[in-house]
Amino acid sequence: MLPYKILVVDDSIFMRKMITDLISEDTQFQVIGTAKNGKEAVNMVKTLKPDAITMDIEMPEMNGLDALKIIMDVQPTPVIMLSSLTQDGARETIVALERGAVDFVGKPSGSISLDLHRVRELLLEKLHIAVKTNVMKFRSNPIWTSPISRSKAVPRVEELPKVNKGNTASEVNFFKTTPVAPLFSNQQVSSQVQQIVAIGTSTGGPRALHQVISHIPGHLPAPVVIVQHMPPNFTKSLAQRLNSVSELHVVEAEEGMILQNGHAYVAPGGFHMTVARNGPGAYKIHISKEEARGGHRPSVDILFESLLPMKELKRHIVLMTGMGADGAKGMLALKNAGAVTTIAESEETCIVYGMPRAAVELNCVMHVLAQQEIASKLTQVVCK
């Protein structure tokens, strides 16, 4: 079999050389070209037609976010973003994932990096996923037309953060807004928790969560707890992003937070999140640094398993796009323990049909739904 063709895009000569060398260690990949900015990348994608691209975010002339958008419009190609491990880098990466990037890898911190081996391992793993991804799904499943995301607020836009050495990205303003009151006030929602929605996802998850969370009404009579496999910093930016497009009040979870209806809680990267009782009809978040489960912290299974004793709650369980099987066994256990609803995202809309497939194979899924159908089903079963 011929090696997969990879295009490397970065404004640093050193980084282009280092990334090329890392990729070339795997004989299944061949770097067929390098570009020093987004403009060059767009032109090279048209002529070279690579199987996948590694893309820096901050570049002169045209940044990685703008290049990604053009590429997904004119020559849809799987893209892995190379992101700085800063808060600004995390914000921009979330936007990139929503625009169609398959995944991201944190850039090595310097010319002599102790984490270089880990970067190589992650980059090759994600490239193997990327080259097998049908990114045409992004065209058939747009997320920028959410009626709720448009109706939540008229924001006051502050100064936009820079995302490259000369340009700004329009969508980053979501992180720099002060929203007015949503259409549905959470004050109208009972404080008594009688139901809960639990969602697990991984590769492709930020885009899937955007689609689902932005279509759930703010008057939902249940809290939503979310595990997305992501490192620290990125989950905070993800929560901020979801909050900006949803009527739900979305936050990164913290130890001891009391669950409230109409609120959503994203597990912080690097920590497990569980739910514990806090008195009659009341529940709280517990955060821990216990050992990773199946290589994941946070773990979907650990979140789901924490809900097993809570048979007094109507439990609605969702697994969406992601590699591996995290959450499938937890969903099975919850179904056997009386969960009201179990939903798996369909293969047609998954970026990686791994976690949902594992649940389907365990015969614990009541509803297999396309990504754009999940929010309406959750609203129906929770609000009936």
Using the structure block, give the residue that is written with the tokens 């739910």. Answer: 275
> Which residue among the candidates 202, 237, 244, 346 is catalytic per the annotation?
202
Contact indicator for 176, 159 with CB cutoff of 8 Å? yes
Alpha-carbon torsion, ordered 101, 105, 106, 111, to 10 deg: -120
Q: Which of 10, 237, 326, 346 is catalytic?
A: 326
Burial of 367 (0-12, 13-18, 19+ CB in 10 A): middle
Q: Which two tokens stand for residue 240?
A: 């901020």
Q: Can you give the three-state secondary structure of the chain, one letter per residue?
A: CCCEEEEEECCCHHHHHHHHHHHHCCCCEEEEEEECCHHHHHHHHHHHCCCEEEEECCCCCCCHHHHHHHHHHHCCCCEEEEECCCHHHHHHHHHHHHHCCCEEEECCCCCCCCCHHHHHHHHHHHHHHHCCCCCCHHHHCCCCCCHHHHHCCCCEECCCCCCCCCCCCHHHHHHHEECCCCCCCHHHCCCCCCEEEEEEECCCHHHHHHHHHCCCCCCCCCCEEEEECCCCCHHHHHHHHHHHHCCCEEEECCCCCECCCCEEEECCCCCEEEEEECCCCCEEEEEECCCCECCECCCHHHHHHHCCCCCCCEEEEEECCECCCCCHHHHHHHHHCCCCEEEEECCCCCCCECHHHHHHHCCCCCEEECHHHHHHHHHHHHHC
Find the catalytic residue in 210, 219, 229, 272.
229
Whether 84 is catalytic: no
- The encoded tokens of residue 307 equal 């809900």
229 is catalytic: yes
Residue with tokens 């901050």: 58
326 is an active site residue: yes
The most distant pair of C-alpha atoms in the chain lies apart, rounded to whole Å, by: 64
Q: Write the burial class of residue 262 (CB in 10 Å: 0-12 exposed, 13-18 middle, 19+ buried).
A: buried
Which residues have a catalytic role annotated? Answer: 202, 229, 326
